[in-house]
Chains A and B, each alone.
Chain A
Amino acid sequence: MRTIAIKMLFGDTAKFYGILLGLSFATLLIAQQASIFVGLMSRTYALIEETPQADLWVTDPTMQFVDDTKPMQVTALQRVRSVDGVGWAVPLFKGLLVAKLPSGSRQICDVVGVDDASLIGVPARMIKGDVSVLRKPDTIIIETRGARSRLAQPINPADPSGPKRPIEIGEELELNERRAVIGGIAETKPTFQNVPTIYTTYSRAIGFAPANRRTLSMILVKAAPGVSVTELRDRIARETDLAVYTPHDFAWTTITYWMTQTGIPINFGIAIVLGFLVGVAIAGQMFYNFTLDNLKYFGAMKAMGATTGRLLGLVALQGAVAGVLGLGLGLGVTSIVGLAIPGDKLAFKMTWHIPVIAAAAVIFIVVASSLFSMRRVVKLDPSEVFQG
């Protein structure tokens, strides 16, 4: 009987495709918008993910998110190093600076200055060159997306608005009137600000930056062997009055800022809710109409000895099949879109939560419309089959 119920669903082509379209479109909207939202949010803490060596991040207490750099006095580094249990502590500079490109145009860049001695904080995946180039004078490392896009140079220098080529190793920029030579190109995770990121040494970075009494953006800390990270975090915070985060907490602090202080979640939330409502409106209505159209057959089955439970099982099966197909199709299209569009064009990250949320939404739509449909089946009087 299950086969017949499924054939009834597939056989009503117009309604079946309507239900499928509604469910898959709802899934697509929910999953795609959620994936882009997660993708965007994950970019806000890209720097933390790019620096896995640090157990703790120490910042100014008023700093709200990764890009909200509030420089500290350089003495903060010594205070942190003096805390018992610190294995090592290194400085990190982070700030937006204007770079003058070889073509003469200017581009805002995110400059990250890493510890001169250890180079902790330099991206791990070098595409061209080696991190050791930073030991050469005036050298910087740029990342691939920036090299291909915002830092790209015109093929014909006489035509600055013409076709462009990626900027290459050996070419020079100017940062705050100072020469910076590209020594390497690295692959890094996209950032939320979507400006080119330049890596250099801490001392060189503060030389690029405008003169300021406070230059220390953050301090990266590694716990000494055998020391509890959480205990060390509390100890540093207590002894220095600075903010101390584990990478996980720092990432969540950043996400929380963007979630609570910007309109981004509301905008994506509206799109997701609209997707859900589209699903309810199209798929729910179609499924209900499909059941109404088949009510006379359900009535005949009831007359022929089908229990109400048996008929409800058939309706539930039809709903489940439509739901699984709609969900699969929607998630499939979402994944294809996510895979097809390059990461620097679309912030897309589908975590395992997103299919689960989309599935929950589809289940809700299917269950709700099935319940409405079932209500008609339950109330169906089998004697109605004799009324023409």
Chain B
Amino acid sequence: MSEPANSIVCNELFKTFGVGDSMVRALRGVNLEVRFGEMMALVGPSGCGKTTLISILAGLLQRDEGELTVLGTDPSALSNHERTLWRGKNVGFIFQQFNLIPQVSILENVAVPLLLRHHPKKDALDRAAKLLEEVGLKGREMTRPNKLSGGQQQRVAIARALVTGPRLLVCDEPTSALDGATGQKVMGLIRELTAAAERVVIVVTHDERIYHFADRIAHLDDGRVTHVSTPAEALAESAQRMGDAAKRH
């Protein structure tokens, strides 16, 4: 059976946390389609549901209502164990705070996703070394993460995210802990390494300076995708909003 053209399809996704007075409706009917080979940025104000949405797309959380297809599967329909295995096979993660294990070398850090899946150690380390070479850290394999700069640590995280060859790469604020120039380099590296027809990249960001790396930008507000734009349109909208705000003052 051929795979659908869209790698991700969300139809009226709902997600609620808590009950009673403490209930929070994080997602209120999200509709979104992401194509294979595409890098989609999710943007919006804090608390708009970006993190909840990528958590559901990555199989970390389950939706409450709606239809979801990610790489031909509805991860929310899987059992916890099945979802964990599905994530390990299909999803790569780049975290805001890198989450590199400080006590081991960057080579071992990159190999962790493979070792967790009982990959032979030698093979895992060979693949990790190859990825480190691709992110420009050849020769630094035995270095501990805390000996590297923030940009270098994020490169290690990129290598770790890609070492299993995932078809979905989820990046949570990948440049928020980096300066502007380093953020550009890191995003350029993500773009370069993920440019493949069978791969899809979701980037959650507040950083307008990296909009141009995305193919499309989904704008979220109050638990819904309000619209999807091109990076140029998104930047224009942003400029418009800033202009309006300046006039009000």
Contact = CB atoms under 8 A, between A and B. Distances in A.
Given A4-B112, A310-B116, A388 B103 contact: no
B28 interface: no
A257 interface: no
Contacts of A385: 60, 93, 95, 99
A287 to B, nearest CB: 15
B87 A304 contact: yes
Most buried by B among A302, A303, A304: A304
B72 interface: no
Which secondary structure dominates where chain A touches chain B? Answer: helix
Interface string A6-21: 0110111000000000
A128 B91 CA distance: 83
A302 B115 contact: no
Interface string A292-331: 0010110111111111101000000000000000000000
Given A11-B102, A383-B55, A383-B60, A300 B87 contact: no
Contacts of B102: 11
A267 B130 CA distance: 63
Given A1-B116, A4-B112, A386-B172, A12 B93 contact: no
Interface centre among A11, A296, A305, A388 (most CB of B within 10 A): A305
B101 interface: yes
A304 B112 contact: yes
Contact of B103 (A12, A299, A304): A12
Contacts of B113: 304-305
Given A1-B115, A383-B60, A386-B55, A300 B84 contact: no
Interface residues of A, number: 29
A300 B93 contact: yes
B38 interface: no
B89 A305 contact: yes
A307 B81 contact: yes
A303 B116 contact: no
Contact of A305 (B55, B87, B104, B172): B87
For B84, B93, B117, B121, which residue has the most chain A Cβ atoms within 10 angstroms? B84
23 contacts: A1-B115, A3-B121, A4-B108, A10-B103, A297-B99, A300-B93, A302-B84, A303-B58, A303-B93, A304-B87, A304-B112, A305-B85, A305-B113, A305-B116, A308-B84, A381-B60, A382-B60, A383-B51, A385-B95, A386-B51, A386-B55, A386-B60, A386-B96
